[in-house]
Amino acid sequence: MECWIWKKWSRIQLGLFGIFLLLQISCQVNAKAKEIAIPLDPKAILKYQDQKDRYWLVHEGEGIYLYQEGVWKLFTKEDGLVSSRIISIQEDAEGRVYFDSPDGIFRYNDFNFERLKPTLEEHQDKMWRSNPTDLWFSHGWNHVGPLRFDGKQLYQLTFPENPRSEAFFKKYPNVSYNPYGLYTIYKDRQNNIWFGTADMGIYHWDGTQLYWCFDESLTTTPNGGAFGIRSIVQDEEDYYWICTASKKFRVEKKPSTDFSKHVTEMKLVPEKAMSTNNSLYFLDMAKSSDGAVWFVSYDEGVFRKIGDQWEQFEIKVHQEQILLNSLYIDRLDRVWLASLDHGLYYFDGRSFLKMDKKKLQVLLNNK
């Protein structure tokens, strides 16, 4: 009797397990087949393509979209995402993806997001050290230095006072913004790290020494507005382009072992570059693998420099030039342009094309 009961119960268990397994398989298939609305909202920005050929798009107010193998996934607060105001996306040598935001630094572990907690030490000279594999974050615009992650610790660094600081705060004692706030972080081919600030010029870290330089024409526009250092790029000839296309720069610096109250000053040696549109200031700059340098203006389109040749690409809707935001070049050297109010654009080799759901899906699947 006991044997019969045991056999019957075993069959019931196997049956239940089979039903459970079928349900699991069904859920997995449904999850893979489910496609959420592609975020072609005007605020959607293509930010990053990682080593696994996954594409990350940011939609402020909605969350972060991940596209992989034909499936879209939306990450929100339920997945540990505290902020959708993403400044930049990076990944480490192991393929882990990191998100820089004003509300913290987050790491994606293939399941959810974890927040990294910064370490603040009193002796900043011990923290201003780095390896080529370190990741750098701005953490918004209200700090007096960047964050550095060495794979284990996240360090909150502080910029030393520079020669401009005293005069600036004397002139603007009640300034409403942080003049040290970081607008951009750029890593050049020599692994130097460039930090563009709101009104304190440029800090330059070469791995052993921190330098500083200031050029009024790069920070303040001809009309008197404070533009700040928003864009930096290094071209094939090792010239640096900073904010404008009116001049390019060579760098002159003298090594120093004195990490004192003031940083060591670095000199930017300018050369005349663009003969027209010298008053333009650029929100973003990038270099593609063919050596072309791309410049994104706010309301006059995109400029491309190949050798000594310049070309302007106007992006218009109803005959009106639209307002632009940023530019991203993916791992396949494809150029993506984000506008403020008219969504995402793609450069097809001749012009920038407005993306819709079908076009974007085809392009992202084409690897």
- The domain locations on the chain are 1-29
Q: What is the pLDDT of residue 3?
A: 40
Q: What is the pLDDT of residue 284?
A: 97
Q: Is 246 left (phi over 0), alpha (psi -120 to 50) or beta?
A: alpha
Q: What letters, b where the CB count within 10 A reaches 16 and e where it falls short, cover 278-300?
A: eebbbbbbbbeeeebbbbbbeeb
Beta strands in 261-323 (DSSP E): 264-265, 267-272, 282-287, 293-297, 302-306, 309-313, 316-317, 320-321
Assess contact for 106 and 81: CB atoms under 8 A.
yes
d(CA 43, CA 144): 28
CB contact set of 91 (below 8 Å; sequence gap of 6+):
48, 50, 51, 97, 98
d(CA 286, CA 292): 8
Question: In whole angstroms, what separates CA 157 from the centre of its chain?
Answer: 19
Q: What is the pLDDT of residue 90?
A: 96
Q: What is the pLDDT of residue 255?
A: 60
Q: What is the pLDDT of residue 152?
A: 92
Q: What is the pLDDT of residue 130?
A: 87
Q: What is the pLDDT of residue 70?
A: 86
Chunked in runs of 10, what are the mean pLDDT values of the chain (367 residues)? 39 40 32 48 84 92 88 86 91 94 92 86 72 93 91 92 90 91 96 95 92 89 83 95 91 64 74 66 96 95 93 94 96 95 94 90 86
d(CA 171, CA 49): 44
Question: In whole angstroms, what separates CA 156 from the centre of its chain?
Answer: 19
Rg (CA), the chain: 25
> What does DSSP say about strands 316-317 and 88-91: parallel, antiparallel, or unpaired?
unpaired
